[in-house]
Structure 1
Amino acid sequence: MSSGTAAGRSRSRSRWRAGLGRLAAGTALLTAVALLPWLSGNDPALTVLRARSADQDPSPEQLASVREQLGLDEGPFTHLVHWLGGLPQGDAGTSWVSGEAVLPQVTSAFAVSVTLMLGALVVTVAVAALVSARTLYLGSRRRLHRATGAVGVAVLAALPKFLLASLLATVCGVWLGWFPSSGWEGPASMVLPALALGVPSGAMIGGLLDQSLPAAFNEPWARTWYAYGFAPHHVARHALRRTMAGVLPQLLPTVVALVGGAVAVEKIFNIPGLGRLALDAAIAQDLPTLQTATLALILLGTVAGLLIQVLRRALLGPALRDGALPALHAPAAFRGRSTRWAAVACALALLTLVTAGLLRDPLHVDTAARLVPPSAAHPLGTDALGRDLLARLGHGALRTIGVAVAVTAVCTLTGLLLGMAPQVGAGLTEVMSTMPAVLAGLLTTAVTGPSASGAALAVCLVGWTPYAAQAAALLEQERASGHMLASLSFGAGPGHLLRHHLLPAVLPPVLRNALLRLPTTVLVLASLGFLGLGEQPPTAEWGRLLSENQPYAELAPWTVLCPAGALVLLSVLALSGTDAAAVRSRASVPVRMSRRSRRRGVQGHARPAGSYK
């Protein structure tokens, strides 16, 4: 009874810490948003007046009138207190630009975005199921000897969402007329944007699930069930439940990204969603609208995080609560020869592309050769200004990959540290995952100005959340495992547990996730550059090439297919690197642990057969 009471008190304290963390993080985020007009260095009255009337040269009297009308001289904190005070009465203020009530606008945009999110979530789950179906089938029948579909996963995950949206709108909307290509008029309007958002996200989630399933089928409980003659579908169902523990936390940033981060897709399909409303309000410095939209995103992320936690514990059942669920350790035998050949081919292709491009001038403009298709003189064609695409791809490779790798490394390290310190990161991950990278870019640009470093800082502010969520979930599993409890009973110290239990269980999956998300980081940096918040022209950068040439996708498809193909090559190479890292990191752990365990008289990695039920 006393142990149960102590466990209940511990869970209660954890909930209180998480609640306080959410409150503190949400307050800090809303305060940062409230400071945006004053941080930007521009006159808020001038920005609002230009958003109202597009007047480029207002008189001082007009500016003074707007400043007095909005009460800008009172400062940001007075505005924040007034806005918060009106929320309990259902008053979110009045738009500085349109003069209309803010709450109906945000409510309408929120309803549109949630509807679109649910449709995209259905597509995400369907694609993830298709990606992992073959591994699930072969594993349940003891026929899984190599990786399945790794290259296809990398290709789908590397698809730029705004490029896929343009392609779907052009082909399925304009040419074939199957679905509306613009507007929000009914269920049919949701199909194409849901596909554009859900297919890459589903490939990402499915890839993580596909990488975890082989380890589940290789565990002692699964081998015992095979020996006892359990039906394959029974083993497959429990293996799926087993792997969902580490994958479910990745749904939180995915769900929020389908709402707040879908700005480009909403613009292409002319959808009046919450992400687009927040972006327009931030650009116009319409503070009441921006604050209310940000609060809606925070509430959405908090509710989604709580629902995912409940679903995760319901799927795991007593295994997690009773401390019988160990962390998954990927076996070293699931790296197929096709994946190695794909990695070699992608590496050679990228090396050839970069080498050939570096020999050309990326800034040379030939107005007589605008949008020229691939030829002997221009192997990848030219862009709208007549610049050689091969040269721009080659010169942009180091900058693109270097910045993306640096940002991914910072985000991964930050996520690991916060994920392994739940007392510090409790609630913070859920709140920060609600912040779109575009909004973070606006906040950082207000301080640093539009630059590549400012865009990188913006992505670092929000890009660590998937890794923190995954690390926290894996850490919870490992701490509840029987072999770690055995080590504790034999007097293992924190350093030993960290080196031989926690890091081997957490680090490889998080690194695989980071490499799988590397092309996504490139695309997020590209979207910030497209909005004028990141890399500035005429810099040759892969993401910016996609953004610059996206309007010419129908007229000159090679202008977007070439940089998109380079991203696909990078994604396949990164995913192949995850397999190699998993093989090297996991192959030596059981041997090293077994030797140390024999010296201590403990079977370090043995689990009771059939312990997961």
Structure 2
Amino acid sequence: MRTVAARTTALAAVVTAIGLLPWLSGKDPALSVLRARSAEQEATEEALTAIRDDLGLGSGPVALLGRWADGVVHGDLGVSWVSGTDVLPSVISGLGVSLGLMGASLAVALLLAAALSTATLVRGARGTLRGGAATGGAPAAMLASVPEFLLATVLLIALGVWLGWLPTSGWQGPSSLVLPALAMGVPAGGLLGRLVDDALPAVFGERWVGLWRTSGVTSRRIAFAALRRAVPAIVPQFGLVAVGLTGGAVAVETVFAVPGIGRAALGAAKAQDLPMIQGAVLVLLVLGLTAGALAHLVRVRLLGPGLRDAALALPSPPRMRAGRVARAVPVVLAGVLLVVIGWGLLRDPFTVEATARLAAPSWAHPMGTDGLGRDVLARLGHGAASTVGVALAVCLISYLFALTIGFLPAFSAGVADIANALPPVIAGILVAAVLGPGTVGASVAVALISWPPLAAHASALVQETRAAGFLTAQQAIGSTPRRILTRHILPAVAGPVARHAVLRLPGIALALASLGFLGLGAQPPAPEWGLLLDESRAYVERAPWAALAPAAALALLAGFAVSLSAWAGAGPRGAAAPAKAVS
């Protein structure tokens, strides 16, 4: 009931915000409609009044929200401000395409997760899993960290452009489904494979496994029993994967020009077509929340009636000390990034050379030039400075907010559910509808969804510290609540949460890059990494190096995030399991 109530509250809050989008933007809705329909027409008072009367905009936001909600209940999502057609048929058409794509992506994810965890499952069942260490965690973590839009671009260049094996755009048949499904399914499969692979060693360390093995139970039966024991504890994470798929669909459908609901939502956000945004985002949110609810029902079914109300938490797997090579990986990746960024900062990112348009890499331009003849290396270096700087600001804001709300665990849990229901791309579309595309809007969108893991960590540490025995002694000797808070509780919480926030910094940078790639973040001519990747898609067949340079930089950043997390250990003390929320 608590889970259902949280999800209902999340849906009600977001639906209210969606219904009020025409007023939250701070602009005259009638003027927005006029500009969407005819940018050249003069905004006279007579024209604006006619639009207000036609759409009922003069009755105010509350009445408008009530009419919109009543229309949703009766299957009417309104009329597009741009085309003047009903929104519902367009949403249904895009939804059918997106459901097919998400179904294929989920199949890829499950197959990949099974492949990544098979070795650990077989070795554990046979009793040959040495030291309690999982075998597929590192590859799974690398795959899980790759953003969907980046993988989609690489697949398009490699398999679509260079090799010509598969179509690169459109929706013409089963062959058009392969590349988009791989782009969405591989990161999701990496995350699921890592969760299962990390859970299995703890299961095989339980006493019943040894008793079964000595009693002559077959390895196959032990493997199935261990899988059934491990899966219920991580089934809720499958809901987060589904939420990630709804956000990833927007980017992937854009890359491959798939006529899905995600692409329709993005196009509506750029055109400020608020009724279309309302319908498309509402459908995407319902998809994500429905998938989360189904995951909860599956978990209850797997537990059975006897354990239906039990947490069934798995014991923590043994921590493994990172070797010298593992500790050196983040240092090496950071060094490569710093060298490339420093080299690019010494060059001019805005100089246009018409005679050097789309030039191949050379001594004069080590990474080639873009469609305007600008040096790609220079734009890569200067874009890193702005990307990382904005990511630092967002990370700091998320840290301070999480630290504050962590002292209110009952309140933070419900608010965190609302934030976790929104992938970064969906949050970016909503914020862009209010503030318009830009760096500020992208920063606000990422900040809105990046604090829940930090808040969960802070809340756990606050509860743990308050239960410590030394605080009772402090109260007994007359210490004031303020002194206990500032001298004992806050120092015990601030440090670990700060280290946790640093580990999430690369993921925040990747989220900002994804919004820039979709045109919701920094605007031209800013040399932001995601924007560089988006600009290069127009001429990727003629000059693939212009796309490969920012793609390689983003891949290095993703690898740095994964290796840094592995070097830091299994996770911050008291933190919740990492989710695919920001990356």
Band of TM-score, shorter chain: 0.7 to 0.9
Distance in 2 of aligned mates of 1:408 and 1:245? 32
8 Å contact kept, 1:301–1:433: no
Name the SS for the 1:90 alignment partner: coil
Q: 1:387 aligns with which of 363, 374, 378?
A: 374
Name the SS for the 1:262 alignment partner: helix
Task: Show CA shifts across 1:544-588 (max 9, x none).
Answer: 3222223233222222222222222222222222223226968xx
Gaps of 5+ in 2: 475-491, 574-583
Task: Show CA shifts across 1:173-219 (max 9, x none).
Answer: 56766554433344443322211211122223323433444444444
Name the SS for the 2:569 alignment partner: helix
Matched with 1:89 is 74
Distance in 2 of aligned mates of 1:253 and 1:467? 17
Matched with 2:329 is 342
- Whether 2:255 is the aligned partner of 1:248: answer no
Provide closer, same or farther for how the CA distance between residues 58 and 286 of structure 1 changes in structure 2, counting only shifts above 3 A.
same
Provide closer, same or farther for how the CA distance between residues 236 and 35 of structure 1 changes in structure 2, counting only shifts above 3 A.
same
Q: 1:132 aligns with which of 86, 100, 117?
A: 117
8 Å contact kept, 1:134–1:148: yes
Distance in 2 of aligned mates of 1:356 and 1:466? 35
Distance in 2 of aligned mates of 1:366 and 1:183? 34
Matched with 1:157 is 144
8 Å contact kept, 2:148–2:187: yes
Distance in 2 of aligned mates of 1:174 and 1:353? 27
Alignment of 1:100-179 (within 5 A): 100-140=85-125, 141-145=127-131, 148-149=135-136, 152-169=139-156, 172=159, 179=166
Provide closer, same or farther for how the CA distance between residues 443 and 289 of structure 1 changes in structure 2, counting only shifts above 3 A.
closer
8 Å contact kept, 2:500–2:572: no
- Whether 2:291 is the aligned partner of 1:304: answer yes
Question: Which has the larger displacement, 117-126 or 88-97?
Answer: 88-97
Distance in 1 of aligned mates of 2:83 and 2:434? 27
Name the SS for the 1:560 alignment partner: helix
Matched with 1:526 is 513
Question: Which has the larger displacement, 356-365 or 175-184?
Answer: 175-184
Matched with 2:10 is 25
8 Å contact kept, 2:113–2:194: yes
* TM-score normalised according to structure 1 size: 0.75
1:348 is matched by which residue type in structure 2? Answer: G
Name the SS for the 2:565 alignment partner: helix
Alignment of 1:57-456 (within 5 A): 57=42, 60-140=45-125, 141-145=127-131, 148-149=135-136, 152-169=139-156, 172=159, 179-222=166-209, 225=212, 230-317=217-304, 325-333=312-320, 335=322, 338-404=325-391, 407=394, 423-424=410-411, 431-445=418-432, 450-456=437-443
Matched with 1:598 is none
1:267 is matched by which residue type in structure 2? Answer: T
8 Å contact kept, 2:265–2:429: no
Q: 2:564 aligns with which of 565, 577, 590?
A: 577
Provide closer, same or farther for how the CA distance between residues 134 and 391 of structure 1 changes in structure 2, counting only shifts above 3 A.
farther
Alignment of 1:592-603 (within 5 A): none
- Whether 2:19 is the aligned partner of 1:55: answer no
Distance in 2 of aligned mates of 1:403 and 1:422? 28
8 Å contact kept, 2:439–2:522: yes
8 Å contact kept, 2:94–2:264: yes
8 Å contact kept, 2:454–2:500: no
* TM-score normalised according to structure 2 size: 0.79
Task: Show CA shifts across 1:424-472 (max 9, x none).
Answer: 466655554443534433443466565434312211223456788x989
Gaps of 5+ in 1: 1-14, 496-503, 587-613
2:366 is matched by which residue type in structure 1? Answer: P
Provide closer, same or farther for how the CA distance between residues 550 and 211 of structure 1 changes in structure 2, counting only shifts above 3 A.
farther
Task: Show CA shifts across 1:138-173 (max 9, x none).
Answer: 444433456645554454334443343345446555
Question: Which has the larger displacement, 336-345 or 247-256?
Answer: 336-345
Task: Show CA shifts across 1:395-418 (max 9, x none).
Answer: 333443344355457668878998
Distance in 1 of aligned mates of 2:258 and 2:390? 32
Task: Show CA shifts across 1:206-238 (max 9, x none).
Answer: 234334444444445545555656544444434
Percent identity of paired positions between Structure 1 and Structure 2: 49
1:133 is matched by which residue type in structure 2? Answer: T
Distance in 2 of aligned mates of 1:535 and 1:433? 24
Matched with 2:479 is none
- Report the Cα offset of residue 79 of structure 1: 1.3
- Whether 2:535 is the aligned partner of 1:548: answer yes
Provide closer, same or farther for how the CA distance between residues 47 and 582 of structure 1 changes in structure 2, counting only shifts above 3 A.
same
Question: Which has the larger displacement, 162-171 or 535-544?
Answer: 162-171
- Report the Cα offset of residue 317 of structure 1: 4.7
Matched with 2:577 is none
